[in-house]
Structure 1
Amino acid sequence: MSETTILTPPETGFEQHAFRGRFNAAFFRVMDPYMEHTLHPRKQRIFAELPPEVVEIGPGVGANLRYLPVGGTLVAIEPNRHMHALLQDAAHRRGVQLDLRERMAEATGLPDDSVECVISSLVLCSVQDPGAVLAEVRRILRPGGTFRFLEHVVAEDGTPTRTAQRILRRPWAWTFEGCSCERDLETAVRAAGFQSVAVERYRLHSPFLPFNTHIAGTARA
C-alpha cells in the first residue's frame, strides 16, 4: 500500500486560485486518457526503466505515475494544492510511495547532488523562471543523473501554429495558470549546463493548435 508524506513550507510563492486551480485539476483528470494516448509513444521511451526514486516537477494529478515501478517513490514538487488529492489517489492506485512537497520548482529544498532522476511533462511552460528551474534540476542531480522531459514549445515563425500561439497567448496563460505556448525550451535546456542533451522535436495533431509543437529528450548532469 502506498503512503503519502506531505511537506508544506510556510510560503511557496504560488498563487492558489480557487477557480483555475479546481478547473485545471478536473481538466487534466478528464483529459488523462486522451493525453496518455497522444503522448504514450514518447513517454514510454523517455521514461523507460525509471529508478526506484524519482523527482517530478509539477506532477499535477499523477499522469506519469504509471511509468514508475510499483513500490517506488515519487518526490512530487507540486505547489498547486488543488492537484494534491487527485495525485494522492493516483499514487495509492499505482502502488507508489508519495513524498509530496508543496514547493515551487525553482526551490525544491532537496540537497545538492542527491537525485538520480528528475522528470517533467508539460510543466516548464508554466513555471515562473525556466532557467532557474533548470539550474535547480542540475543542482539536485548527482553526476551522471538524468533529467527526462516532454514539453510543448514555440512553433516556427510564419506557421499557422505560431500565429495561433500569438493570438491565444493571454487567454491560454490565464486559463492554464501561467502556461506559455511561446517558450523556446529546447534552447533553454541546451543552455542550462548539462553534460549532454538529446532532444527530439515532433508535432501532435490535436485540436489544441497552440499545443501541437513538442520536444522530448534527456539531459545528463
Structure 2
Amino acid sequence: MTETNTTTANTTTTNTTNAPTTEFELHSGRGRFNAAFFRAMGPYLERSLRRRKQRVFAGLPGEVVEIGSGVGANLGYLPAGSTLIAIEPNRYMHAALRAAARRDGVQLDLRERMAEQTGLPDRSVDTVISSLVLCSVQDPAAVLAEIRRVLRPGGTFRFVEHVVAKSGTPTRAAQRLFRRPWAWTFEGCSCERDLEQSLRTAGFESVAVEHYRVHTPFLPFNTQIAGTAQA
C-alpha cells in the first residue's frame, strides 16, 4: 500500500516512513514483560475469546489493518497468503509477531507507530481489526477517528475488547481497586473505559455490539464487548 524501507524476512516488512509526531513511551521493563506475558498467556486468553473472534473476524479479506497486533494472537483468523498491516508500537512484541506471521503464512507489513496516527492514506482499506487494544491507547476517540479516516465507505472495524463493568457489581469494584496497578503493569491499560459509548459517538454509519462475560482470574478484564462498526 505504501513503500516499505526495510525487509526483515520473506513474510515481513517494516515501514519507517512518515514518522508519527505522537511518541509511544516504551518502557524497557514493562515492554518486555507484556511481550512475555502475552506469549505465555495467549493460548489461555484465546480459549476465552475464540467463539467471539470466530464470529467477528469471519470472512476477513486479503488485506487487513490491525491496531495493536501484539504478538500475533489474531493472525490465525486471516486467510493464508493474505497481508496484515500491523500497527504495533511496542518493538518487544515484534519478534513474536514476525514468527507468527511466518507460521500462519501471512505477509506482514509491520509499522512501529501508534494507532492515533497510522500513516495510511484516507479511505484506503476495507477492514480494520482490534482485540484488547482500545483499553490501552492514549486517546480512544482519536484512534476511532483515525480508523474512520482510513476505512473506505462501507468498510468495517471489527473489535473484541474489555470494558467497564456495570456500577454496583463486584467486577466494577475490582476495576476501581486495581485500576492504578493494572494500568502501570499493562502499559496504560484502563479497565474502566465505556468503549461502547465511544464507538457509538465516533461517527460510524452503524455499530453492532454484543456484551458478554468471560470467566478468568483477571476479574477487571472479564466484562467484554465484540462487534462491528461500519464506515
TM-score, length-scaled by structure 1:
0.98
| Separation of aligned partners in 2, 1:138 and 1:33 | 31
Specify the alignment match of 2:13 in structure 1: 5
Correspondence list, 1:1-221, <5 A: 3-8=11-16, 10=19, 13-221=23-231
**Partner Cα distance (1:3, 1:158) in 2:** 48
CA deviations over 1:25-60 (Å, ceiling 9, x no partner): 010001111111110000000000100000000010
- Give how far 1:8 is off: 2.6
Code of the residue aligned with 2:209 in structure 1: it is V
Partner Cα distance (2:11, 2:159) in 1: 26
Runs of 5+ unmatched residues, structure 1: none
Paired with 1:119 and 1:67, the residues of 2 have a C-alpha distance of 11
Percent identity over the alignment? 75
Distance in 2 of aligned mates of 1:199 and 1:34: 24
Q: Tell me the distance in 1 between the aligned counterparts of 2:65 and 2:40.
A: 24
- Where do 4+ consecutive residues of structure 1 move more than 6 Å? none
Cα drift, residue 206 of structure 1 = 0.7
The offset of 1:2, in angstroms, is 5.0
Cα contact 1:204–1:212 (8 A) shared by 2? yes
Could you list the per-position Cα deviations for residues 108-135 of structure 1 after superposition, in whole angstroms to 9, with x for gaps in the alignment?
0000000000000000000000000000
| Structure 2, unpaired ranges of 5+ | 1-8
CA distances 1:56-104 after superposition (whole Å, capped 9, x unpaired)? 0001000000000000000000001100111001101110000000111
Secondary structure in structure 2 of the residue aligned to 1:55: strand
TM-score of the aligned structures, taking structure 2 as reference length: 0.94
In structure 1, give the amino acid aligned to 2:104. R
Q: 8 Å contact 1:2–1:96 — kept in the other structure?
A: no
Q: CA deviation at 1:7?
A: 1.2
Q: Output the CA distance in 1 between the equivalents of 2:155 and 2:30.
A: 34
Separation in 2, partners of 1:2, 1:150: 30
Which residue type is aligned with residue 129 of structure 2? I
Summarize deviations over 1:147-204 as a string: whole Å, max 9, x none.
Answer: 0000000001100000000010000000000000000000000100000100000011
Compared CA separation, residues 42 and 2, structure 1 to 2 (3 A) = farther
